[in-house]
Amino acid sequence: MASDDCEAIQQELMAFALGFPETWVDHPWDFPVVKVRKKLFVFLEHRDAGCASLTVKLPESGEAMLLEEWATPMSHGLGRSGWVTMEFERAGDVPLDLLFDLIEESYCAVAPKKLVKQALAGDGESAD
């Protein structure tokens, strides 16, 4: 049952990320990422040891998020550029509303300004 909950959380995070204009799923590694046009803005890695893992670019709230026990700078030096990885052991630990806000921040940091304006106006459609 817990595994099902974790899968449902991953699907909710994916669906939310794909709700922004011109977003799509890519699989450059063994886990999905979400891109806006050709730029990556969400890593959705499902870890074997835990429930969910999400990495996003957080130029505004990154420092504050890194104070949380479940957040770390992204590996490979990308943490210096504002990329933050958040890992959760149990489905009940996942703050979905907060993660939705962070996905939006990441989209706004990476997407072209025209698409950000469209997304924030709420009149965008996601791409397949």
**Average of pLDDT values for 93-113?**
95
Within 10 angstroms of residue 39's Cβ, the number of other Cβ atoms is 12
Report the percent of the chain where pLDDT is more than 70. Answer: 84
Which residue did the predictor score with more confidence, 46 or 25? 25
pLDDT at 2 over 90: no
pLDDT tens track for 37-82: 999 999 987 665 578 889 999 999 989 999 999 898 876 655 566 7
CATH fit for domain 2-120, picks 1.10.8.60, 3.40.50.1360, 3.90.1150.30, 1.10.3720.10: 3.90.1150.30
What residue spans define the domains of the chain?
Answer: 2-120
pLDDT at 1: 36
